[in-house]
Amino acid sequence: MEKIFIWEQNLVLFFGQLNNKFLDYLFIFVSYLGELAFVWWVAAAAALFLDKKQGKRVFVLFLILVLLHVIVVDLVFRYTLYRPRPYILFPEIQKIARFWESSSFPSGHVIMATAAGILFSRYYPKFTIPIIVFVILTIFSRFWLGMHYLTDILAGVGLGIVFITFVLYLNKRWLGKGLNGRK
């Protein structure tokens, strides 16, 4: 999986050489919020404790998303489809965030941002705009910080959509009205 397309390399190098302290700090902060799906765990816990109507369902669906991520991404993709992160291959990309040696393919931050963003937007539509903003910032942070190539990001969005589609199917098919809230 070490194949890197020239256009992808050029895009990564373009973003990796930009300098803007405000964006550096913003994207580092966004990246840390997405690390280990922290912001989504907080949202899931808030749903569980604050929403008596559908919070339990949202929390369980989120747990299923996390389980899918761990099995498919952390245990399968990261070891079978290894690709070095851009800042490892290209020293001209300034290293300004946490150093990760794991595979850049696919972007775990983007998978969880996409899947959890759709989940929480579905159950809490009044938060859709801030969720979309956070997802977009997460996507751009992965480029800006030199963590991923465009195909890592696109694969992350695609897998996030696949994961949430599967989880919502399970919800409709097997969880039914067994947990609180809507299907």
Residue 9 lies in a domain: no
Report whether pLDDT(20) > 90: no
**Could you tell me which residue, 153 or 94, shows the higher pLDDT?**
153
Q: What is the mean pLDDT of the chain?
A: 87
Identify the pLDDT of residue 1. Answer: 44
Distance of alpha carbon 39 from alpha carbon 79, whole angstroms: 26
Please give the pLDDT value at position 37.
85
Assigned domain for 112 exists: yes
Taken in order 54, 57, 58, 59, the sign of the CA dihedral is: positive
pLDDT average, residue stretch 138-164: 93
Q: Looking at residue 4, what is its pLDDT?
A: 61
Percent of the chain with pLDDT over 90: 55
Is residue 8 included in any domain, yes or no?
Answer: no
pLDDT in tens, 41-56: 999 999 999 999 999 9
- The confidence score (pLDDT) of residue 177 equals 59
For CA atoms 74, 114, 136, 158, the dihedral sign is positive
The residues near 177 (Cβ < 8 Å, ≥ 6 apart) are: 183
Residue 64, in any domain of the structure: yes
**What does R_g of the chain's alpha carbons equal in angstroms?**
17
Domain at 44, CATH number: 1.20.144.10
- Domain of residue 169: give its range: 26-175
What are the pLDDT digits (tens) for 96-150? 777 777 788 899 999 999 999 999 999 999 999 999 999 999 999 998 888 899 9
pTM: 0.88
Residue 145 near residue 91 (C-beta atoms within 8 A) = no
Angle at the Cα of 113 (from 160 to 34), degrees rounded to 5? 135
Residue 94 has pLDDT above 80, yes or no: no
103: amino acid identity, one letter: S
Q: Is residue 160 within 8 Å of residue 110, measured between CB atoms?
A: yes
Question: Into how many domains does the chain fold?
Answer: 1
Inside any domain, residue 20: no
DSSP summary character for residue 22: H
* pLDDT for 110: 96
Q: What angle do CA 51, 130, 77 make, to 5 degrees?
A: 90
Do the domain assignments include residue 73? yes
Structural domain includes residue 171: yes
* Residue 18 forms part of a structural domain: no
Residue-wise pLDDT tens digits, 57-74: 999 999 999 999 999 998
